[in-house]
Each structure stands twice: as structure tokens, then as C-alpha cells.
Structure 1
Amino acid sequence: MKHISLFFLIFLALPLSAKLLILPAEAMQKNYGPEATISEENLLLTNAQAQKIQQESKTKLSTNIVKVFKATKNSTTLGYGILINEKVRSKNAVVLYVISDESTLKSIEIVAFNEPMEYLPSKKWVLQLSSTGDVPNTTGATMSAKNIIDGSKKALAIYKEMLKGK
């Protein structure tokens, strides 16, 4: 039932033409294993928090509402997933940034992609970005790649401001 309600929430939040690639809870389970408990919540950022996150990430937030997934096992936090929904060219992409409890980018999961699939960044490129643990500045990047890099910066700044150590 939980997966069904999550699917409808995502379905309502995305334009009807979205190509859903994976459910966020499934992506979290894939990263933290079947024994992990995945919970979700919406965070409402204050204007001050949003401004601090924008300064830290050097990117603009499109909303003050952030969907966060948390993976736990035996009351221990394993990590978080932060869902970012941003326009790439003319349509939205939804990406889940999985951040470990060591404050590193563990994985990047493209949840839904509205642009033509040939614009979808390759899995190899996404894996390379998430395996470095650092988000590089990129010049001349395609819009999809820039979107993912900017999203990574936002997700890490949200984690630092709202979730780390809490």
C-alpha cells in the first residue's frame, strides 16, 4: 500500500508525459539493502534556510519544499535520499541524491525524465560523478549533466543544513 500511495504522489507531482524509471523508495532500498527501513517526509524550508542552502550550493532553489527519504536499520540512520525536481530544457527531471551517513554522495538515481531519452546522462557518467564523493564544476556540459551537478550541490547543501547530525 505504501508503494502504491508513493507512486500516486509522484504521478500527481509530475507531468503526465514523464517517464518513471524507478520509485524513490526502491532506489533507496537498492542502495541500503532489503533490511533497511525507508521512511519519507517533506521538509518546509524557511526563507533563511533556503537562502543559506542557495549560498552554499551556489544554485537557486525552485521550491522551499523538499522530499526526503531516510534509510535506517535497528534505529541507526544509514543515510538519506533527497528528491530534486528541476527543469532540464523545457521539461522536468526528477533525481534522487543518496547521501551516506558520512556526508558523501553515495548514489545518484534518475527517478523520472521528461526530456527525450537520448538526453538522459549515461549511467557510467552518473556513476563516475557519485563515486568521486565530490561535485566538480563543469563548463560546457550538456543541460542534463549541468542539471545533475547543480542538483548534487543542492542536495548536499540541504543535507548539511537540515539533516546532518540530526
Structure 2
Amino acid sequence: MRLKTVIPLALALALLCAAAVAHAGTYMTRSEALALAFGEGVEIGTVQLFMTEAELAEVAGESGIRPDSALYTFYVGKDGNRVIGYAAIEAATVRTHPETVLVALHPDGRVRFVEILAFFEPEEYLPSRRWLKQFRERSISGRLRIGDDIHGMTGATLSAQSVTRQVRKTVAILKTYLARAE
């Protein structure tokens, strides 16, 4: 093959590869995510939960995931004195790149919805909204797992596992917080 032919082909291949890598990004800011979780005009505060060693062990037992830190932040939506829900923004590494999810929860700890805020793996591994709907109205249980209540995603197993772990951990931590508040 001639050099004049090889250089344009190599350049085209490099551009194609670069386009494949420029696959991901941030889909929603924290402010937009919290507005989605609680609606407009709702007072949003934060709760800093500093878990004891016993609570960390309880969360690990409930969720199968030991939190990386004893400190955890929940956003709390209030209408006057009434709590209308909680939300957590969770980040994790899927394969080699991060994803960030919003887990919106009812006041009793059930999942309202899950939303992807940022995803830096290739787009084909991004969980679909349809797949994320499986988490709605779920609470922490042994069945909140892929293969039980949650169906896997063909071709995106690591993404599905990552989101499921994030939801399980968040729901278990909120359960710990709610038990402490009683």
C-alpha cells in the first residue's frame, strides 16, 4: 500500500477511535438532580450521618457492601416540617471509569427512582431508563439483586452490578438513619 493511501486511512481510523472514546459525560448537575428528586419550591437540606462501627457492619450485612466511609450525606426534601423524601448522590467506578447516580427515596426508605447523572464508560454500557425503572418502590431485601428482583443487562453487566450496589447501599444506609431517628 502506498504511503499517500496509508496516512489518510490512519488519520480516519484515529478520528473514528477518538469519536468512540468521546462517548460519555455529565447528564445532569446536582441542582438539576435535586429539583428532579423533590420538585420546585421544596426546602432541601442535608443530613450528615456519621455511622458507628456497628452501623457500618449492619449496612454491610443488609446490603452486601461495606461503605467506603462512615460519613454519608442525604439530601432531605421538606414541605414545612413534613419530610417528603430523601436523595443521595452516589459515585462509583464501573469498569475503569466513573458513574454517578441519584437515588431518590420515599420517607419510609423505599426507592422512588434512580437516575444516571454522569457516565464515563462507553455509551453502549449506559443503563437505560427502562432498566432503571426496576428499582421503583423497592426496599432493601435479599431480593434487591440482579437475578432476583432486578434483571441484568445484556452487554452491560458491570454497569448493572454497579448501579444495583449503589442502590442497595443507599437504601441500607437510609434504613440505618431512620432507625436511629426513631
TM-score by length of 1: 0.78
Which stretch has the larger CA shift, 21-30 or 87-96? 21-30
Partner Cα separation in structure 2 for residue 41 and residue 114 of structure 1: 28
Counterpart selection for 1:85 from 79, 88, 91? 91
**Cα distance, 1:95 vs. partner?**
1.3
Counterpart residue type for residue 87 of structure 1: T
Which stretch has the larger CA shift, 58-67 or 145-154? 58-67
1:114 aligns with 2:130: no
Q: Which residue of 1 aligns with 2:65?
A: 59
Partner Cα separation in structure 2 for residue 145 and residue 94 of structure 1: 13
RMSD in angstroms over aligned alpha carbons? 2.3
**Cα distance, 1:56 vs. partner?**
0.9
- Contact persistence 2:112–2:137 (CA under 8 A): no
- Contact persistence 1:66–1:84 (CA under 8 A): no
Q: Which residue of 2 aligns with 1:36?
A: 42
Higher gyration radius (CA): 2
Counterpart residue type for residue 156 of structure 1: V
SS of the residue corresponding to residue 118 of structure 2 reads: strand
- 64 and 112 in structure 1: CA distance in 2 versus 1, 3 angstrom threshold: farther
1:161 aligns with 2:179: no
Q: Which residue of 2 aligns with 1:146?
A: 161
1:25 aligns with 2:31: yes
TM-score by length of 2: 0.72
SS of the residue corresponding to residue 124 of structure 2 reads: helix
Provide the aligned length of Structure 1 versus Structure 2: 149
- Contact persistence 1:120–1:144 (CA under 8 A): yes
**Structure 1 unaligned regions, length at least 5:** 1-17
Partner Cα separation in structure 2 for residue 164 and residue 33 of structure 1: 26
Partner Cα separation in structure 2 for residue 163 and residue 114 of structure 1: 33
Partner Cα separation in structure 2 for residue 67 and residue 114 of structure 1: 23
- Contact persistence 2:112–2:136 (CA under 8 A): yes
Q: Percent identity?
A: 25
Partner Cα separation in structure 2 for residue 84 and residue 61 of structure 1: 11
- Structural mapping, 1:115-130, within 5 Å: 115-127=121-133, 129-130=134-135
**Structure 2 unaligned regions, length at least 5:** 1-23
